[in-house]
Structure 1
Amino acid sequence: MISFKSHSGIYTLETKQELAIGLEEAWTFFSAPGNLAKITPDHMGFSITSGEAKRMYPGQIISYIVSPFPGVKSNWVTEITHVRDLEFFVDEQRFGPYSMWHHEHIFEPTEKGVLMTDKISYKLPFGILGRMVHPMLVKSKLNQIFSYRRKILDEMFPA
């Protein structure tokens, strides 16, 4: 399930996915920055340029290069601002394509494995122009990325 909401120019994407793995296995996989490339579409040219050597910890800076659209490369720097082992972590953009990016990764044990929730609050630059391009460019791209992620995770961790 992927849902989008908007309020005062701030957009929220929320997606939930149940995986047939234990909480510790889920945490180990998702708290390792290097695994993000495994669940990002290849055409995005995603590459971590620093900060992937250690498991996530508060204050960790991770930098990336990503190509959101063909021929367009963007540097992106995030900081891991909050971590509660086996429960959640938060990354926030410090430099990159958004005016604001706050991404919560939440893990909850279930009878069948773990429920993983991604909640992203973001704001686009360029005021009304950014809001005008949101539906066709940004929302559709994020939907594509998280749909791809869902498919890959279902293949990696089959029920």
Structure 2
Amino acid sequence: MAGRKRTPDHLKIVAGTAQPCRMNPDAPASVTGTMEAPAWLSARASELFDQLAVIIADMGIASVSDAAMLAMAASRLEEIEICTAMIEDGGRTFVSGVKYDDEGRIVSQQIKGHPAVAQRSEAMRHAQSLLAEFGLSPSARSKVSVSKPNEKNPFAALG
């Protein structure tokens, strides 16, 4: 399928751009409730999952149906942390293919990029895409407006 991704109906309603002719009446409803991190996530990824779940719950877009996608985002964020630690420890490059002459002096060597640099870059791209799906980037957030609940007057019961 080519072109732009279809905007979910609930986001059209929240953004105020919903039109009956462009809505999908047969779209499955999202399931409300508390999201729980899947068992396959590591301890750190579970922490990230819980942090993200709180953020999207506060934004009013949390759905139990999205737990797997949120788990992927948490796993990718953990991968970014791991790759960053590897790069900090080992550097962005390494020396390979060193050749010496008869007296032990270096004749040639190759300097290669650390594999963790490419892995982190790919994880960052994927995490950014997943987080944008939840409105967790400035541009994605600017496309959605959430109505704020009416604040109750604490003195209303007195009068």
Query: TM-score when scaled to structure 1?
Result: 0.26
More helix by share: 2
More strand by share: 1
Higher relative contact order (CA 8 A, sep 6+): 1
Greater gyration radius: 2
